[in-house]
A and B are shown apart, each in its own frame.
Chain A
Amino acid sequence: MTAASSIVAPYILPSGRLFAASGTRIANHVVFVLFGGGIRNQESVSQQYLANQGLTTEGNIMPNMLEGAMPTSNLVFDPWNPAITTPLSKQGTLFKEVRYVSGPTGHYNGHTVAMTGNYTETGINLVANPEFPTIFEYYRKHSDPAKAAINSWWLSEGLGPYPSLNYSRHPLYGAQYGANYLRPASIIGQSGYEQFGNAESYQPDDVQRILKVKSLLDNNFHKDVSDLPGIQNTPEDRERIKNFLLQELEDAVNGNFDVATPTNTYEGLTGDLLNISSAWHVLREFQPELTVINTVNSDVCHDLFSLSLDFLHRADFGIGWLWNNIQNHPVLANDTIMICMPEHGRNLETNALTDSNGFGAYDHTGTDNARRIFTLVVGPPDKVVQDQSLGNPNIPVAESIDVVPTIAKILGFEDQIPAGMLPGRFLNEAFI
């Protein structure tokens, strides 16, 4: 019997309520892609390409995620052959019209809403952790047995406020339930190479020697550093992750770093694709149960519409590449559900800027169109409804706050979350 299908016998809590110690799981692994940078439904699920720029050319520039023919004329992006043969929309359920109902349509706000399952109505302190618990904290606190940090990961394309999203400042949750956070470009790039280029993985005997000296010293000191800010792994997991990161750096130096490009070279690599590539390496190495990543490069749409399409096309390739790898992994294949959703959309009207092709640019300033997004749920046919498309511009079918309760349901801990914490709903239409 697999863990996914096991049901542990109920027990009585001190409160008298009857719960299952661990809920039934739909799958044992979830990958949540904040497919972002602010993506308009017009150029994504509606496949309008340049139809809003005074040209008639339409077409699908996301052939990995969506079904539809790519444009063949007026190409302003470098077309890549898809990484997969069957578009992901046919391998799952596409919620074509989803709403980011309230709160500012900023990137960090959008990320926060998607990862906490709660709208943030007021201004957000960009250097603070979110007010509401993140999906990582729900997962680690309410899973039974409790999950170590190595089972949950948050990888972001950039720094800025994003490192703050691996745990909240909620008094009942916080860093002790947070996820491992990584910004790969800072580790395997110039910065990491300069500082860790000489670093070496130690043999277990030497690790024990270091810890033995530390222990001796700690025994003679009156304070400890349990209040070090941030999450903490167990010593064993920390060692595994350190060795992994040093191996990543070595692979990058030696040209053995697999990347999500058609030729597996740095040709065409973007920040989004590096993040996706690293996420795959984390998945391959640790098989975490909960992984959240983002893409953001399409945000150049503030002034470079054509380039934003190119970034969108490449990020779509990365998602197909990632799914392909997952399906070829002995543990992850057929036991992983992937959810892709932009953090918010962009305006209907262009701003005053045009790119070299004369195309108008789009901001995201809280307009109705900036609240239009989509959600794609992909998974094995015995778990996720295949080739299903729901909603239209007049009938939105979900909200951005629905992903967190959906993940909670997939991983079997939704019943353990206190009532009132999550206003969203489980996207049951997507599941068998």
Chain B
Amino acid sequence: MIHKLFYWLIFASTITLLGCVKETTLTTNPIVDNYVFDVNGEAIYQSGLQKNKQKSPEQYISILYANLFQTSIPIDVLGVLGEVRVAIGDKQMANELILNGFVHEPDVLILSNNEMRNNLDEFINNIYLRFFLRTPTAYEKFELKKMIEEDSNLTPELIYQGFALSNEYQFY
């Protein structure tokens, strides 16, 4: 059934193109170069205070993809996600849906709960490097470690989403 719907949507897109097109031109923003936002796990910020610029939607999606899959986002995926994001008025909701889709992809790189709990200090250090490009302060490490230890159902999948939806992750 879904395939029929997709065929139909291709037809519908064709029909839409037959109508007025002058008013529906979209400006395409340049693709963000992920090189700027290194995915090699290097600490490039001494503190979150150094982050003051909010990421553009394309930056956010590109970096999120790189953080979760450890590879650059394919251009066609970025294009599709850009459309999906435009199609939802609440951008926070759009981000959450995109993130939800990512973390349930089969090739996403997320540790298991056991792997995380086997070495919590290393996990916390790495997740801060991965998402925030900085090491955690001692207090941040203490807080997160305490939260994980007190809740056995707090999995890496959920923690990753907390990081990806955090305010700091929206800035660089």
Interface residues of A (CB under 8 A from B): 37, 106-108, 126-127, 149, 154, 157-161, 163, 166, 178-200, 202, 205-206, 209-214, 216-218, 220-225, 227-233, 238, 241-242, 245-246, 252-255, 257, 266, 269-271, 274, 296-297, 299-300, 302-304, 311
**Complex partner residue of A217 from B4, B106, B158, B166, CB under 8 angstroms:** B166
Flag if A225 contacts B163 (CB, 8 Å): no
Report the Cα distance A274→B51, complex, angstroms: 43
Shortest Cβ distance from A203 into chain B, in angstroms? Answer: 10
Q: Which residues of B contact A218 (CB under 8 A)?
A: 166-168
Q: List 13 A-B contacts (CB under 8 A).
A: A179-B89, A181-B87, A184-B87, A186-B83, A187-B88, A217-B167, A218-B167, A223-B171, A227-B54, A232-B90, A238-B92, A266-B8, A269-B8
Pair A196/B97 contact, Cβ less than 8 Å? yes
B25's contact among A126, A163, A206, A255, by CB below 8 Å, is which?
A126
Contact B166 A221, beta carbon cutoff 8 Å? yes
Complex interface: chain B residues within 8 A of A161 (CB): 23-24
Q: Does the CB pair A181–B89 fall under 8 Å?
A: yes
Q: How many A-B residue pairs have CB under 8 A?
A: 220
On chain A, the residues within 8 Å of B80 by CB distance are: 191, 194-195
Hey, which chain B residues are within 8 Å of A205, CB to CB?
A: 153
Cβ distance B93 to chain A, nearest Cβ, rounded Å: 5
Q: How far is the CB of A353 from chain B (nearest CB, A)?
A: 11
Q: How far is the CB of B128 from chain A (nearest CB, A)?
A: 10
| Residue among B6, B93, B154, B167 making CB contact with A238, cutoff 8 Å | B93
- Please give, as numbers and ranges, the residues of chain B lying within 8 Å of A37 by CB-CB distance: 19
| Distance in angstroms between the alpha carbons of A149 and B88 in the assembled complex | 13
B25 contacts which chain A residues (CB < 8 A)? 126, 160
Contacts of A126 on B, CB cut-off 8 Å? 23, 25
- With beta carbons under 8 angstroms apart, the residue of A160, A232, A270 that contacts B12 is A270
User: Chain A residue with minimal CB distance to B91?
Assistant: A230
